[in-house]
Amino acid sequence: MQEDRFRKNQKGPNRSICTDRKHGHKAEGPKVSLELARYYWKQLQDIHMEIQQTGEPTLDHLLHIPHIYEVPETVVDGEALQAILATAVTEALDQVQRMRSREGESLLRDFLNRLSSLEEDLSVVRDRSGTVVQEYKNKLEERLKQLMGGGTG
């Protein structure tokens, strides 16, 4: 039976799912290892004794040594992480689907507007098709008359 308890911080988009195996009930921050602190304190004092020009070691010196801190072991709860990921992926896919739907609707409106414009242009072409042929015929005959009249003159 699993004795781990979970800390869930679900405020905003950042969520953390952690298990603290050492304490069993809540995740805690780093703590000073007294054993390591004593060891480094002894090292600081030895350095001070060896190099007389250095100032006497202080607690501040000791606390600036990063190795004296222990961080409780945390493990990620796979099931909780999977649930969060599944929710996030589902939400992302829903957003993509809504975006694609809006994009499709926009493209449809654009295509329908273009089709309407083409139909209007086609209507103009059909209306003028008979008169355009006659206008070209008249222009061609006029040009031929000019060319024939220009050659005999």
Q: Checking DSSP bridges between strand 16-20 and strand 74-75, what pairing results, if any? A: antiparallel
Output the pTM of the full model.
0.39
* Per-residue CA distances from 102 to 88, 95, 115, 125 (Å): 21, 11, 20, 35
**Unique residue bearing structure tokens 């992926």:** 89
Q: State the pLDDT at residue 12.
A: 39
pLDDT in tens, the chain (153 residues): 333 333 333 333 444 444 444 444 455 678 888 999 999 999 989 988 888 777 888 989 888 888 888 887 777 788 989 999 999 999 999 999 999 999 999 999 999 999 999 999 999 988 888 888 889 999 999 999 999 986 554
CA distance 122 to 40: 91
Q: Facing residues of 20 across strands?
A: 74
With H, G, I as helix, E, B as strand and everything else as coil, classify residue 94.
helix
* Inter-residue contact 17 to 8 (CB < 8 Å): yes
